[in-house]
Chain A
Amino acid sequence: MAEFQTSIQDIDDLTIIHLNGYIDAHTYPMLEEAFTNQVERSRYKLVVDFTNIKYINSAGLGVFMAFIETMRGNAGDIKLAAMQPNVFNIFDLLGFPLLYEIFPTVEEAIQKFTNNNEAAS
């Protein structure tokens, strides 16, 4: 049952989590694990690539809520990118745009982190 996979890509202090498939009640623990791994590696600046995500359920959304404070508490963030319209709609309905930055492309999300880094230095 390979309904969902994650892959990790590090660029400097950024980590991009590429997601693939469906995030539902079966697979959301894998998403959680992906975030737990980043916390263990002390990687707190995350861009989540939704290009290949077809569906996300509320437990999947809950995973983002469960980790956002940890990331921001460690000078990082979770930025979301490249959602298909139906996926964005779910995030939008539940009010996520209030708390998360959502970008049309992964590059723009990376750019935002990079700009912030430059501003900080």
Chain B
Amino acid sequence: MSLPDQENIEFQRVRRNLTALIDFSKHINASLDIDFTLNNLLLSCFGKFLTSRGMVVLLRDQKMQIVASKGIPKDILDKFPPEITPESPDISSQVECFCSASRLLCQPILIGNQPIGYILLGEKFNKQPYTEEEIDFLKVILNIAATAIQNSMMIADLKNLNRRLDSKVNRLNSLFELSKEFGILTEEERIGKLLSYSLLGHFLNSHYAVIYFSDGKLRVLHSTIPKKVIQENFQLNAFIHFSEPLVGNELALVFPLLAELHFEVAVPMVHQKETKGMLLLGPKLDKSIYNTEDIEFITSFVSLAVISLENRRLFREALEKQRLEEELQIAQQIQKNLLPKEIPVYPGFEFAALTIPSKHVGGDYYDIIKLNEEKLCFAIADVSGKGVPASLLMANLQAFLKSICKKEEPIGQATALINDLVAENTSDGRFITFFWSYLDILNKKLTYVNAGHNPPLLFRNNSLTYLDKGGIILGVMRTLVPYSVDEVELQSGDCILMFTDGVTEAKNTDDNEYSDERLEKFFINHSSISARDLVRAILQDLQLFTAGAAQSDDITILVIKVL
């Protein structure tokens, strides 16, 4: 072969190489798709070096990962990356170690002087080793490819990041939408449904339960398993200390039955540090597991729901309370109507009365009933307890009294009858202290029975008498011993004060009681003024004493004065 021929062949070879390089560089930069770029790189090497095996590993998340491979048997691929050993402490020596073991040629893909990855190529078809020239050529190809690979990796990372951002935005949008919607929904069931469906959409699952603890019971708001299964198998007590989300094995450990029902996540609904319910989710249908971010997202959803549920409950309670208040006001009005509308006026006498209930409806009662033209009935009573139950019993007593007065029975027998009726009508240990009397206007005679009531005071000639004859308080038992009856011949200047323990037991801010002594002393000192003024004066003195303290019991005062 002549020299020019040889030169010509050499020239042709270099030209081929150059053309191949130009062609390669054109194609490799044409796409930003990493798979396309690596595929192109491997195939170009296969064509150039006549080999059919090769792979590319790249440094990602601080680890060498296989990103493309062709023709390499799976058992070899499975050995990558090799274990870190004292002989191959860093990544590059690890790769080299893997290559010599698998009889692969290894060349770094360099950016600057830093390897971003390696190309690993198998034996050539002709079984010859790679020549120095071929390795040089490979280096040039890798130089060109390095930038393209880095660019497409960055694009892939960006795309990934963008997708994650989109996903975050999507989750935030959902939260925002739910926070608006939860404010509007009125039924708990609809809140449960919106919560569970929204989570189904986000996590590709189809198994769920939203359980709300209300009135000490487990209330299933929305669920794929029958409500009965939950209500029959679980007790509320089991969940009151459940305050942190449980996932997978943790859930199976703490609540094995929930895991048996195919739930994988349980998130408590916590409101003001109390567990008010829980959300259960089954596995995702794409088989991926719930990560910390997922659980945080679910927790935010659940928090929104529980705030909405609790607000609704508080609102309903407030409504209920308002309704009760209104009913109490009506009851108070009814009770007020039960009391005498006007105090009768008779020559030679002065009557006055006053009652102040402690909270809306009370257990105090007084009455002045006209039996006939010459006879009046005065009654004062204190039903044990307060509020609606006491006032109901008081209304009862008033009804008995009104009908018995119509019969004009002797007061002793009448008291026995009233006691029997009250005893029949009370079952919960309630009782009534009761004092009543018939006043004979013409003969100025007072006939009375005291059934355990604070003895009324009779003031006559600078001395006090207690009107305490009678018997047992009403309602405790049926009448076994007849009530004693006492008669008082009234004289001009006599003054009788009837009251309930709301007067004598009224407390001041130092927790001291107004006391019988103070009432008696005040009564003695003021017995000369008119009945109406006396009632007012006692009330004023009482208010002076209790100044600032809350009224804890009903206050009732009734005065009869003989002119």
By a beta-carbon cutoff of 8 Å, the part of chain A in contact with chain B is 24-26, 28-29, 32, 57-66, 68-69, 89-90, 93-96, 98-99
Contacts of B500 in A (CB 8 A): none
Known: A28-B197, A62-B196, A93-B170. A98 touches B178 (CB 8 A): no
**Neighbour of A62 across the interface among B177, B180, B198, B286, CB < 8 A:** B198
Closest to B224 in A: A66
Give the docked Cα–Cα distance between A114 and B324 (Å): 65
Interface string of B184-211 (1 = CB under 8 A from A): 0000000001101111111011100000
Contacts of B286 in A (CB 8 A): 95, 98-99
Known: A61-B200, A65-B205, A90-B170. 17 other contacts (CB 8 A): A25-B177, A25-B178, A59-B197, A59-B198, A60-B197, A61-B201, A61-B202, A62-B196, A62-B202, A63-B200, A65-B200, A65-B204, A65-B206, A93-B167, A93-B170, A94-B201, A98-B204
Pairwise interchain contact A62-B167, C-beta atoms closer than 8 A: no
Known: A25-B178, A99-B204. A93 touches B166 (CB 8 A): yes
Pairwise interchain contact B181-A94, C-beta atoms closer than 8 A: no
Counting chain A CB atoms within 10 Å of each CB, which of B166, B206, B285 scores highest? B206
By a beta-carbon cutoff of 8 Å, the part of chain B in contact with chain A is 163, 166-167, 170, 173-174, 177-178, 180-181, 193-194, 196-202, 204-206, 285-286
Give the docked Cα–Cα distance between A69 and B205 (Å): 10
Pairwise interchain contact B204-A63, C-beta atoms closer than 8 A: no
Closest to A91 in B: B201
**Neighbour of A59 across the interface among B170, B201, B206, B285, CB < 8 A:** B201
Give the docked Cα–Cα distance between A95 and B202 (Å): 9
Pairwise interchain contact B198-A24, C-beta atoms closer than 8 A: no
Contacts of B170 in A (CB 8 A): 58, 90, 93-94
Known: A66-B206, A93-B163, A99-B286. A57 touches B200 (CB 8 A): no
Give the docked Cα–Cα distance between A58 and B200 (Å): 8
Contacts of A60 in B (CB 8 A): 197, 201
Known: A93-B167, A99-B286. A66 touches B204 (CB 8 A): no
Contacts of B181 in A (CB 8 A): 25-26
Contacts of B196 in A (CB 8 A): 62
Closest Cβ–Cβ distance, residue A62 to chain B (whole Å): 3
Closest to A25 in B: B181
Known: A25-B178, A68-B206. A62 touches B199 (CB 8 A): yes
Contacts of B285 in A (CB 8 A): 65, 68, 99
Give the docked Cα–Cα distance between A57 and B204 (Å): 14
Pairwise interchain contact A66-B194, C-beta atoms closer than 8 A: no
Contacts of B202 in A (CB 8 A): 58, 61-62, 94
24 contacts between A and B (CB under 8 A): A25-B194, A26-B181, A28-B194, A29-B193, A58-B199, A59-B197, A59-B198, A60-B201, A61-B200, A61-B202, A62-B196, A65-B201, A65-B206, A65-B285, A66-B197, A68-B206, A68-B285, A69-B206, A89-B166, A90-B170, A93-B170, A94-B167, A94-B170, A96-B204
Closest to B166 in A: A93
Contacts of A62 in B (CB 8 A): 196-202
Give the docked Cα–Cα distance between A99 and B173 (Å): 23
Give the docked Cα–Cα distance between A25 and B193 (Å): 10
Give the docked Cα–Cα distance between A90 and B171 (Å): 11
Pairwise interchain contact A57-B198, C-beta atoms closer than 8 A: yes
**Neighbour of A58 across the interface among B163, B166, B193, B201, CB < 8 A:** B201
Closest to B170 in A: A93
Contacts of A99 in B (CB 8 A): 204, 285-286
Closest to A98 in B: B286
Pairwise interchain contact A24-B199, C-beta atoms closer than 8 A: no
- Top 9 nearest A-B pairs (CB, nearest first) are A61-B201, A62-B197, A62-B200, A58-B201, A25-B181, A62-B201, A65-B200, A59-B197, A58-B198
Pairwise interchain contact B174-A57, C-beta atoms closer than 8 A: yes
Contacts of B173 in A (CB 8 A): 57
